[in-house]
Chains A and B, each alone.
Chain A
Amino acid sequence: MVAPIYIIAVALGLAFLLGLLKSSSTNLGSLLMLAGLAFIAFVSGQWLYEFLINGRATEMIFTAGFKPPFSINLRMGMQEALLTTMINAAGLLSGLYLIDTLKKTGINSMTVLLVFVMSLNVIVMTRDIFNLFVFLEISSIATAGLVLLSSKGNAFQAGMKYLIATGIISGLFLIGIIFSYLYAGSLNIDELNAAHIMDIKGGAIAIFIIYVSVILELKPFPANGWGIDVYTAAKPGFSALISSGTATAGLYVAYKLLPLGGETWLPYFTIIGAITFIGSNLMGTRQQNPNRLLGYSSISQVGLLLMILGLSNQLGDNTLFIAFSILISHYAAKAGLFWLSGIVKSQNLEGWAVLRKQPFMLFLFGTFIFALIGFPPFPSFFGKWQLIMELATQENYLWMTLILTGSFIEAIYLFKWLGFAIKLDVPSNIVMKFEWNKYLPVYLMALTLYVIGFYVSPMVEGGAFINYIPLLFVLALFALDFLPVFVKNTISIAGIIYYMVDLFSQLENDLMRQIFAVIFLGGAVLTLMAGYNKKGTRAGFYPMALMMFAGLTGIIEANSMLEFFFSWEIMTAGSYFLIIRGKRSMPHGYSYMLFSIGGAYALLFGFALAYASGLDTTIAALGHITQLTTLAYTLLAVGFMTKTASLGLHIWLPGAHGEAESDVSPMVSAILLKAGVFGLMLLFLYMGTGTEGGDKLLYVLGWVGALTTLVGNLGAVFQEDAKRLLAYSSIGQLGYILFAVSIMTQLGWLAGFTYTINHFMFKAILFLVIGGIVVKLGTHNMYEMGGMIKKMPFSFIAVLISIIVIGGIPPLSGFAGKWLFYHAIIQKGWYFQGAVIFFAGIIAFLYLFKLIHSVFLGQLKDNHRNMKEISPWILIPSYLLIIGIMIFSAFPQKILQPIGEMLSVYFPESLHWEGTKAYTSLGYWDGTTIMIVVMTAFILLLGWLVLMSKKIKKVEQFNIVYAAERPFRPETTHVSYNIYAGYKKAVGFLVTPVVEIFWDSMSALLFDFAGWLRRIYSGNMQNYALHVVLFIVVFYLIALGGL
């Protein structure tokens, strides 16, 4: 065991040694520096190992042979070992990363870096407050020195601002130290903490001064302009170290000193943390410079951690776990991002598109972003989960709301950035050169996130049961990404089928989950089949698609709320990447993500309330929510409704589904939307009926569903883009489902299931076929198509059958849904909602006709005369689904009766069966008979026409009776564009994009507010110094001045 004191000794010794070297021997110098950094990293790592594995006791190190208060002492415990290891690892990697810069600047800069890292170590380890001050000053001086690694003018300015601000802060700290020494008679932190200075007259001022300076060191919003500038101007390699190292050390200082003031001071930490978290994130939304953006993000994360420290008395034993998991995510992600920024070398966010030249680096970029936001499987996910759960048990709803709001604002700018990187044109003026010393640190930080995430997960209640097998499969696909589509597709399909068989053996008695398993995994297989028609490697597609399906499977398998939420987020992440693959999908992927994250936070809040109600982590906890019951159910419903794209939360869908790739659209539309349905069903089953708030919620949701249907269907009517039309149609169909399940009767749910199954089948067919046609014809605009029935008869039949189902025309299965709807509505007494639903149902005919007419009928265009049928790989899954539709249509009883029996456990039975005939107290319906009657009659009538027909002459395209003029071009004769002009005149006001306008003005408001607020960062260093002074004054007035 190497004693911790060697960290200081070796670092200082080397620093002096470096000073003796000739200024030209930079190679030797850098080698020595790296060796030194590696050594101290080894020492701290070794202690960490001892504490972790051997459970060693905390070690106190006394200097100068005296015990405190007569000497300075250091402590090396589990916490110190962990933090110093983190700091030293970041230090070593930064040293490696910066090696060229350091060599260029000279040996002195290496000395400074060594001293900087060493000072952070001491800040963490020391138990002496004056010693703390000294090393804080050393780290400040070293920081100001290392800022000069960048030789740009703005770095000088930033360094100067930093020096002045920290000068004031440390002067203040000194006063605080001397006063607390006066009261406590010791400089030892432990003795200070034990001295109850608070009880001494005037002690509060001493505590105040110490706290305000410690907090100011953490760069609280808005007194942090001096800190932001350093992040912006320093070399990104060094900013990484400030963000990961200094912040870590600074937070630990705050943690060490928490007992000094006791519980009465905690709320101030929380409040300042919250203001910093939200304020800095707001500032981030307006940033164009990546380093400055990262600076704001760093500070906001520190604010969050400060909040957690402030809440430590409520979080209890979990404080350290929560703080650590969020800290480590921030540490690794921020260091990685800053290092990446140094590699990309772009002064604006748009330039990051260059990452696409190196997909693996893009993957790492995504990793860091997702880790910062708190997606699984990263540690911050578990930390945030635990944090929200604990806060809910303390009924601390305000802080929960603020934390989630802040996180959401952070997502706003981080995902905008990620979207730029994924979608914008690759800039030609930026070159990314591979340098192993710069790339390796980034790799290692990303790896850290995954590894720590995996090890952290079992520490959360229920986390040990998370099924990582599907994710491993995804990982394997990442590794195989270089293979051609054919191979990866086969592997994916085989994997899914294998998993599905396995899954079914577990779901034996759970019909509801079985149905969704078929939709999710069966749908996965069918939609993936269409992928066989793609060429090349389709980089990145398979891991993401499989990730989405893994998430979908996970929500079926989940037993605990944590597993559910974990899978939910995995699904969101996968689907985000799938959606954003479309050519013009950048804004749509972005809005999908924001709505998803907003929804996820609503879910998280709801789950937390459920957990807090009985400390039950299983999903069954949703069944007995006692805390803010109605709010909890509302939040959960809203969370799920972001995925089902219900009215108000639907604006992301048309673009996301419409612009997605041809086989992604069916995945996200036919399959992914059902995740929201599954969630809603689960929620409603646990919620049940009869509670006052719950029933009101259901009533409102019923209306929301009905109006969603109307808006979705009407929206579809006025589309010219074929895929957007289908996307709006999905909104409408999901509105039906929401309405149906809100009815909460057996009939309503049967209608819901019928719609779910039908929508899965016909929307998969439609998006597959129309998507294939769109690709083949090279346009989304229906009016540029026409006459395809002659070229693509199989596609036509598939689309025809689908639209018969959507329309609810007997004898196909769509009618089952309509029939159940009528009966359910009349039984429930929701007449007017029902009327809206049926009105919307008939409006559907308008867009259905427009779709099939504009694409397949009418006039064939000249440039399409040589078109052939779309790929059989699209038609095969479509026709398999048509077989499904036909079976469901002819034998509805085989499917609906078991569902009805399953539902009779939850609802009074109102649908009965007599053979194939279904009847309720209101009426009856026999799908099988209808099928027989209609088929027989149709064949007879067809025979009649054939019998009566004589010689039928096929005529040419333009051989039509056309009054007084002759059709000139197909374009002038094909009626499609704005075909419902008259209808628009009559009811077009209903499609005013009220919701879009609402969300647009909300975001404009946010951005304008942030733009206004950030003017405080005027760039003037005196202003920044004034901010610091004002911060002190305001804090004083609030904390001690009785304000």
Chain B
Amino acid sequence: MDYSITKFLWTLLGLFIVLNWGMLMSSTMRRIGARVSGRFGIPWYQPWIDLTKLYSLKSQVSHGAMFFLGPVFRLMGGVGIFLFLPIIYGSDHWSNYSFSGDLILILYFQFFGMLGMALGAGEGGHPHSAIGISRGLSQFTTIEVPMTLAVISLAIQYQTLSISDIVAAQQGGFTTWTLWTNPLATAAGMLSLLGAFGHSPFNLVKAPNEIPIGPPTEYHGVFLGVLRTNGAILHVAEAALFMNLFFGGATNWVELIVKTFLIYFWSVFVGTVFPRFRIEQSVRWFLKVPTIIGIIAIIIFL
């Protein structure tokens, strides 16, 4: 267990790269979305401008201590997933603090940020916050079902829950990827990912037309800056998790960038095509096809 300063600095550098890549990726995605709807879209550097502006805003209101801590929890959630994820396979520097725990740790650390954010927004007292959170949590319960099944399927396949070991097992070209060796688990996982990333049709939490305000409005200025920072990190970290589980991981940064982009693009692509579900539709949807795929992914190993 390496607690040295060097390790810390390397990790910090990794975090910095991931943050910037996350911002670039999000602006790219928004441009793609705009082009699909026939608009020109934002410039690629828009996120940096936004972030600079948010961090330098002078006004800031607070509803209380938990409200203040909410964004910290949220950012910790994103950063934590990054910290516990071996982001580049085979690299000591970029394995981060993944020696703390295996895949299960990451699966459960996701909740850290969600919970803190929910509580922070809750203290704000805005009814839409609570509505959004209740929707998000409801949806999340069933999003996790195919994901859990996929993880179990992987664990049976590889007989390990260590992410490094799962990636190591896929180091033999495309045909050793989980995508190829266990397509059903991959399918279940990737369908679950659609929900986890929260793009349409599963963008119930922010629901741009129904809940236009709530957390994003109550949280402004530096708070929003922190939330945006987290968003960028989280998207890359989560995409990297799926990359490690299903697509052979990455041995260098370029590979990571390409793969995470494609994984993220998958959710944007679906989101651009499909309109939003209602909550009960979304909840039921995950319990149907993705869950059945997940179950079959386990049955084939029995």
Contact = CB atoms under 8 A, between A and B. Distances in A.
Direct A/B contact, Cβ within 8 angstroms:
yes
Interface of A: 787, 789-790, 793, 796, 800, 803-804, 807-810, 815, 818-819, 822-823, 825-826, 831-832, 834-835, 838-839, 842-843, 845-846, 849-850, 852-853, 856-859, 917, 921-926, 929-930, 932-934, 937-938, 941-942, 944-945, 948-955, 957-963, 973-976, 979-980, 982-983, 985-987
Contact of B133 (A807, A853, A942): A853
Contacts of B140: 842, 845
Given A810-B101, A831-B156, A924-B162, A852 B119 contact: yes
Contacts of B99: 917, 924, 926, 929
B145 interface: yes
A263 to B, nearest CB: 58
B5 to A, nearest CB: 12
B76 interface: yes
Contact of B148 (A804, A835, A955): A835
B71 interface: yes
A930 B112 contact: no
Interface stretch (B31-39, B102-110, B235-243, B251-259): B102-110
A722 B80 CA distance: 32
Given A858-B130, A979-B130, A985-B280, A822 B115 contact: no
A976 B104 contact: no
A403 to B, nearest CB: 46
A937 B80 contact: yes
A856 B159 CA distance: 44
A933 B212 CA distance: 36
Given A846-B141, A937-B76, A950-B60, 6 more contacts: A787-B125, A842-B144, A925-B101, A933-B100, A955-B62, A983-B134
B203 to A, nearest CB: 15
B283 A857 contact: no
A986 B222 contact: no
A941 B76 contact: yes
Interface string B126-159: 1100110111011011101100110010011001
Interface string B1-14: 10100000000000
A926 B101 contact: yes
20 contacts: A789-B123, A810-B108, A815-B108, A819-B104, A831-B152, A846-B138, A853-B118, A858-B122, A922-B161, A926-B99, A929-B1, A938-B72, A955-B61, A961-B213, A973-B127, A974-B127, A979-B130, A983-B279, A986-B283, A987-B283
Given A922-B160, A926-B101, A948-B222, A942 B72 contact: yes
Contacts of B298: 831-832, 835
Given A787-B125, A846-B141, A976 B218 contact: no
A822 B161 contact: yes
B280 A933 contact: no
Contacts of A808: 108, 111
Interface string B259-302: 00000000000000000001111011001000000110010001
B173 interface: no
Contacts of B59: 950-951, 953
Nearest to B110: A809
B112 A826 contact: no
Contacts of B141: 839, 842-843, 845-846, 983
A818 B104 contact: yes
B61 to A, nearest CB: 5
A667 B226 CA distance: 43
Contact of B280 (A859, A945, A986): A986
Contact of B104 (A852, A923, A955): A923
Task: List the 8 closest A-B pairs by CB distance, nearest first.
Answer: A857-B122, A923-B102, A982-B279, A923-B161, A975-B130, A986-B283, A986-B280, A983-B138
B125 A957 contact: yes
B64 A790 contact: yes
A275 to B, nearest CB: 52
A934 B80 contact: yes
Interface string B171-191: 000000000000000000000
A845 B137 contact: yes
Interface in B57-102: 57-66, 68-69, 71-72, 75-76, 79-80, 83-84, 97, 99-102
Interface of B: 1, 3, 55, 57-66, 68-69, 71-72, 75-76, 79-80, 83-84, 97, 99-105, 108-109, 111-112, 114-115, 118-119, 122-127, 130-131, 133-135, 137-138, 140-142, 144-145, 148-149, 152, 155-156, 159-162, 212-213, 217-218, 222-223, 225-226, 278-281, 283-284, 287, 294-295, 298, 302
Contact of A839 (B57, B69, B144): B144
A809 B111 contact: yes
A341 to B, nearest CB: 55
Nearest to A931: B100
Interface centre among B75, B103, B104, B142 (most CB of A within 10 A): B104
A923 B111 contact: no
A853 B127 CA distance: 11
Given A954-B62, A982-B280, A937 B145 contact: no
B16 to A, nearest CB: 13
Contact of A859 (B60, B125, B278): B125
B89 to A, nearest CB: 17
Interface centre among A823, A825, A858, A932 (most CB of B within 10 A): A858
Nearest to B97: A933
Contacts of A982: 134-135, 138, 278-280, 283
Contacts of A929: 1, 97, 99-100
Contact of A838 (B133, B144, B278): B144
A110 B272 CA distance: 100
Given A789-B123, A845-B111, A924-B102, A938 B76 contact: yes
A842 B137 CA distance: 9
Given A849-B137, A858-B130, A962-B126, A952 B218 contact: no
A543 B102 CA distance: 50
A973 B72 contact: no
Contacts of B160: 921-923
A925 B115 CA distance: 22
A948 B130 contact: no
B69 to A, nearest CB: 8
A963 B218 CA distance: 12
Contacts of A930: 84, 100-101, 105
B156 to A, nearest CB: 7
B148 A832 contact: no
A953 B79 contact: no
Interface centre among A790, A819, A933, A951 (most CB of B within 10 A): A933
Contacts of B156: 826, 831
